Structure 1
Amino acid sequence: MLPRNTSTDDSAQRSQEQIELSPWASSATSLSAAPTINSQSDDTSKGLEAGKIDSPSPSQVSSACTKTLLAPHYAASTGIEEEKKQISHIRRRFIFVGLFFTIFLSGLDQTVTSTILTHIANDFKALDRIDWVPTIFMLCSTCLNILSGRIADVFDRASVLLFSLAAFVVGAVLSAFAQSIVMFIVARGISGIGCGGMLSLSIIIISDIVPLERRGKYLGFLQICFGVSNAAGPLLGGLFADHFTWRAAFYADMAMGLLTVSYLTLVLWKCRSRLRPAAPVDAASIASRTWRDGLRTLDYIGIALIVASIALIIVGMNLGGTMLSWSAPITVACLVCGVVLLGVFVVVELRVSQEPLVPMWIFGIRNLVIDFAVTFLCGMSMFSIIFYMPVYFSAVFGADSMRAGLLVLPFGMSLSVSSFVTGYFMSGKDRYRLFMRLGPAIMALGVLLLALLSGRTSQATQAVLLIVPGIGMGNVIVANVIAAQAATDAHLIATITPLCEFFLSIGGVFGVALFGAVYRNKLSGILAAALVGESLSAQALISEARKDVSVIYAAGVPDALRKTVAAAYVDAMRLGMWVMLPLLIVAFLLSMAMKGRRTLGKKETQEAALERTVSKD
């Protein structure tokens, strides 16, 4: 018997934390629902469940220490680790370059349409349907976020990434040559499929080939690429639309996409068999699996249910308060059916699916649940700032699309720099937990500062204040991936990583809807009060300002009327920020409940840790 109060016992306790249930679930359910992670023998498994290992032989001690007692992410099989080492250092550098370009393209495509939608609507004479362009893109991208991980586990990562890039290029081609608004919307949906897979697979491949203790640096580099491209998208879109044609933005996407897919095909194709899930039991079967075999293992019922659920929820959230009222039958039906299908999806994954799309037992891991909740709540505030601050600058200062984009630029740039710094300092014990706490706290401070703004605050001051929430979000957007991966085993990387992006995106959907509802209700109330006693022409102008704020800056509009409308937009924005503030406080309090789990440093290899553990026994 091994003594209870030893380093070995502490290590076993760390391993058992992987299947620890959140406070509202029972431990019995956890042990029955969750598979034993990296257990290679019945003796070892029974020992772990009891909190100790009975009468170990030397080989059992070695196996247990190496595969179970060490930090969970280092529990992958030796064969998989040796296979990964076959990817040379030079080839890894080439892979990183290709992934950085992939992330850059994904970020650019997400925002390039923001400043050219008006031009597109005018060309197709379809202003009433233009809102479906970002909705369909977001829908397809979000669905692929959650599906890409499972597909990457069934097939190799390289093939799925190249397929996503191909979909991106096809979407860019169709967008550039679209002859109707329907064709353009379909094209943006195809681009959304590509972007969703590109973002998730890039992070998954980085996680496959970079050890956990150094992974934060590379994720920080990826976030810099993503942030810069996100910020550059509106500027490039406006440049193309003003000086050439809006189609030129998609010509550029098409050219860069073709170059990237060609480059990554050359770099990844020969080593694609080494980019596999690090599951010791399934590694051999996965390596020999054909495409037909892989297709048979997919959970088609789960895929259909989750896609339908996400589609209905996103469409309902986008319809409510904009095209239709929240009480409209179509809006209510979409939201109710979406929630019901989500519940059916959970039941199917628990009771029916042999190889579930999302293993439900992972939601019994305390750190993972907290990580997803914090990501969701921070995503609500992040997307609210991205969507509504440009409208605020246009209304209060009369900024055009290009200038409003420049005023919001400090948020994106500070997010990028902060994510890089966070990734650089991520290695070491519990450091991801520190940044998961700092992020919501700094974001809450930034949102509070925005809620205290007034129309008298200068443009420069307001733009600079956006740096504060950007720093906080930069902390979260890298730390949440490391925290999620540290909470689970290596073979779950492709399942866990897309879920981080999924909860960020779906948080954005709910955040924009909530902020928008509060924003529009406050704005309508103030402007309705302003209509009293005004002339018919002034009433018509104020009513039009609810839909298009630029009308108040037209020639001949009285200054008093302009100030009234601008003040209404200030009050509406401030109320929206006050609503976001308690959500960020909740996120901070949740992050305080996150437990620490050590990520091994550079000098602490598996062999060294094994030698120390055995020598102490």
Structure 2
Amino acid sequence: MKHTNVKAVTIAVFTATFMAAIEGTIVSTAMPTIVSQLNGIELMNWIFSIFLLTSAVTVPIYGKLSDLYGRKLIFVIAALIFIIGSSLCGFAQNMEQLIIFRAIQGIGAGGILPSTMTIIADIYPFEKRARVIGFMGSAWGIAGVFGPLLGGFLVDQLSWHWIFFINVPVGIITIFLIWVYLKEDIHHARLPIDYLGAILFTTALLTLLFAFQRAGETFNWLEPLVLLLLFTSIILFVCFYFAEKKAPDPIIPFVLFKEPVVLIGNLISFFTSAFLIGLNVYVPMWAQGMLGYGATIAGFMLAPLSVAWITASFISGRWLNKLGTRRTVGIGSLLVIVGALILVLLPQKTPSISFYFVNLVIGFGFGVIFTTTTVTVQAAVSRDKTGVATASNALFRTVGQTIGVAVLGTIFNSILSTQFNAANDSGVTRKNLNLLISPKTATEVDTSLFEPIRNILYHGLNLVFLVMLLIGIISYICHFILPKMVANNKE
């Protein structure tokens, strides 16, 4: 059998990680412009939520399939779907089309992150893995700098549609490298795929998301429909649990969570990811809505996040060996809390330089947390369970973002509606807010309305940052339950 070209595959995995990273930096930066042009700030959550939802429900399926049929085939299929979805998003002409096409894009994205991390676990030993994952983190740093530049240029000079087309050539290159240079020898038994579990899990998550979205629209968590959706999602999750217990080869083997590091590590990833999506969505909103910057500058304000993430990814590998899992994750969690506290205390007239510093601090915390939890979750299981364990970590991260953007969006929309209803000036409306958050359309708003509208936006953003602080505190509390040290992969 031919051997894997480790260098070429590492480049391919790096490229795939870059593709996922640049998707986040470009879309987050362009979102104010998109919702402004399509007049859909109330639907903004769905552009993120539907992508994250379809990613979340497909992650465990991809993870299981990669254990059964190999990383190469599953990665290529996922990347092809992602490319098709990205192309369709580029051709979207209204909010509804964009949401549908983002769902397709998410189905592909659900297989990229867990596949790349599992490939790293396959071709590198434990002692080198943290360092390599740190190298993977540099893809986020490059995307953090290059993404806003490219995205800002495309949005400001051409059209936001072009931000999705950038994924096509990058995706094709990645598929070529993986297909040619990754060699596998699959000997796992072909057990029946857990279709019932996949359907129950998908339906339960979708029902839960609809409940959050409905509550965000009506601003009434006690509405009968919202309560019914929440109750139904709980019943479906319970049914999913029992279905997995009986399945010959479950999508999510709950036996994994008997390992404390897998369960708690994934919970920390869940809460930290909810925090991350809030930062990616609402910092550009502040930059463009409060400060009046274009998409390029808004993206640059997120760049320190990625640069610090790289540095922390490399350092956390050393900390993990010297300090252990608990202390390493604790340091990262404290940094996230410090950054969140600063965000909460920011006054309305805060200059942009403050956000560069905050994102630097929080980015360092993210790099420590995500690198450590990924490596330790992989190390806590046997090699034949690496794919599904990695997928479980990616699943918790994606579900964390899915629920996080829904909860934060609900809170944000609720406070905006309360503020708009209390406004006496008829010009202080949600429509004018849609126009104000993009420099391209801000000129259509009477300058006398800038201040009162920004006051309302500030209240919404401040409350979102406060909730993010609470999420960071919960994540920090969870780290105390982690084991101090984690052993190498079990055979």
TM-score normalised by L of structure 2: 0.88
Query: Which residue among 197, 208, 211 is the counterpart of 1:316?
Result: 211
Question: What code does the residue aligned with 2:277 have?
Answer: F
| Pair 1:98-2:23 in alignment | no
2-side partners of 1:246 and 1:574: how far apart? 27
Distance apart, 1:111 and its partner CA: 4.5
| Pair 1:557-2:447 in alignment | yes
| Pair 1:495-2:388 in alignment | yes
Q: What is the match of residue 306 of structure 1?
A: 201
Q: What is the match of residue 261 of structure 1?
A: 175
Count the aligned residue pairs: 488
**CA distance 1:127–1:481, shift in 2 (3 Å):** closer
1:473-505: CA deviations, max 9, x gaps? 111111111221233333221111111121122
SS at the partner of 1:321? Answer: helix
Distance apart, 1:338 and its partner CA: 2.3
Distance apart, 1:358 and its partner CA: 1.4
Question: What code does the residue aligned with 2:102 have?
Answer: R
Q: What is the match of residue 226 of structure 1?
A: 140
Instruction: Work out the percentage of aligned pairs sharing the same amino acid.
Output: 22
2-side partners of 1:393 and 1:125: how far apart? 19
2-side partners of 1:156 and 1:228: how far apart? 29
Query: Which residue among 461, 475, 480 is the counterpart of 1:592?
Result: 480
SS at the partner of 2:447? Answer: coil
1:130-152: CA deviations, max 9, x gaps? 76443332222112222211111
Query: Which residue among 64, 82, 105 is the counterpart of 1:150?
Result: 64
Asked if 1 retains the 8 angstrom alpha-carbon contact of 2:151 and 2:163, the reply is yes
Q: What is the match of residue 409 of structure 1?
A: 303
Note the 1:412-431 alignment, pairs <5 A: 412-423=306-317, 425-426=318-319, 428=321, 430-431=323-324
| Pair 1:433-2:320 in alignment | no
Distance apart, 1:430 and its partner CA: 4.9
2-side partners of 1:318 and 1:595: how far apart? 37
Q: What is the match of residue 270 of structure 2?
A: 376
Distance apart, 1:307 and its partner CA: 1.6
Larger Rg: 1
Ranges in structure 2 where 5+ consecutive residues have no aligned partner: none
Question: What code does the residue aligned with 2:392 have?
Answer: L
2-side partners of 1:162 and 1:480: how far apart? 26
1-side partners of 2:368 and 2:300: how far apart? 23
2-side partners of 1:117 and 1:456: how far apart? 23
Query: CA-atom RMSD, angstroms?
Result: 3.3
2-side partners of 1:367 and 1:138: how far apart? 24
1:530-551: CA deviations, max 9, x gaps? x3xx5xxx33325545555448
Q: What is the match of residue 73 of structure 1?
A: none
TM-score normalised by L of structure 1: 0.71
Q: What is the match of residue 248 of structure 2?
A: 354
1:80-139: CA deviations, max 9, x gaps? xxx9xx736xx1111101111111112223443445567777998988877644333222
Note the 1:537-548 alignment, pairs <5 A: 538-542=425-429, 544-545=431-432, 547-548=434-435
1:418-466: CA deviations, max 9, x gaps? 223324x255255333221111111111111111111243221233222
Query: Which residue among 563, 569, 580 is the counterpart of 2:468?
Result: 580
Q: Which moved more, 1:470-479 or 1:182-191?
A: 182-191
**CA distance 1:588–1:547, shift in 2 (3 Å):** same
Q: What is the match of residue 338 of structure 2?
A: 445
Asked if 1 retains the 8 angstrom alpha-carbon contact of 2:325 and 2:482, the reply is no
Question: What code does the residue aligned with 2:120 have?
Answer: I
1-side partners of 2:38 and 2:281: how far apart? 24
Note the 1:86-485 alignment, pairs <5 A: 87=3, 91-115=5-29, 132-177=46-91, 184-229=98-143, 232-268=146-182, 271-273=183-185, 276=186, 284=187, 286=188, 294=190, 297-322=192-217, 326-327=221-222, 330-350=225-245, 352-423=246-317, 425-426=318-319, 428=321, 430-485=323-378
SS at the partner of 2:184? Answer: helix
Question: What code does the residue aligned with 1:195 have?
Answer: A
2-side partners of 1:450 and 1:124: how far apart? 29
SS at the partner of 2:290? Answer: helix
Asked if 2 retains the 8 angstrom alpha-carbon contact of 1:115 and 1:237, the reply is yes
Distance apart, 1:177 and its partner CA: 5.0
1-side partners of 2:146 and 2:292: how far apart? 21
Asked if 1 retains the 8 angstrom alpha-carbon contact of 2:20 and 2:109, the reply is yes
SS at the partner of 1:320? Answer: helix
2-side partners of 1:392 and 1:181: how far apart? 22
1:402-432: CA deviations, max 9, x gaps? 3322223322332333223324x25525533
Distance apart, 1:216 and its partner CA: 0.5
Asked if 2 retains the 8 angstrom alpha-carbon contact of 1:126 and 1:181, the reply is yes
SS at the partner of 2:321? Answer: coil
Asked if 1 retains the 8 angstrom alpha-carbon contact of 2:154 and 2:163, the reply is yes
Question: What code does the residue aligned with 2:389 have?
Answer: I
**CA distance 1:418–1:428, shift in 2 (3 Å):** closer
**CA distance 1:325–1:230, shift in 2 (3 Å):** farther
1:254-282: CA deviations, max 9, x gaps? 222222212221112xx121xx5xxxxxx
2-side partners of 1:318 and 1:441: how far apart? 31
Ranges in structure 1 where 5+ consecutive residues have no aligned partner: 1-82, 277-283, 607-617
Asked if 1 retains the 8 angstrom alpha-carbon contact of 2:33 and 2:160, the reply is yes
**CA distance 1:123–1:356, shift in 2 (3 Å):** same
Question: What code does the residue aligned with 1:338 have?
Answer: S
**CA distance 1:595–1:549, shift in 2 (3 Å):** same
**CA distance 1:448–1:596, shift in 2 (3 Å):** same
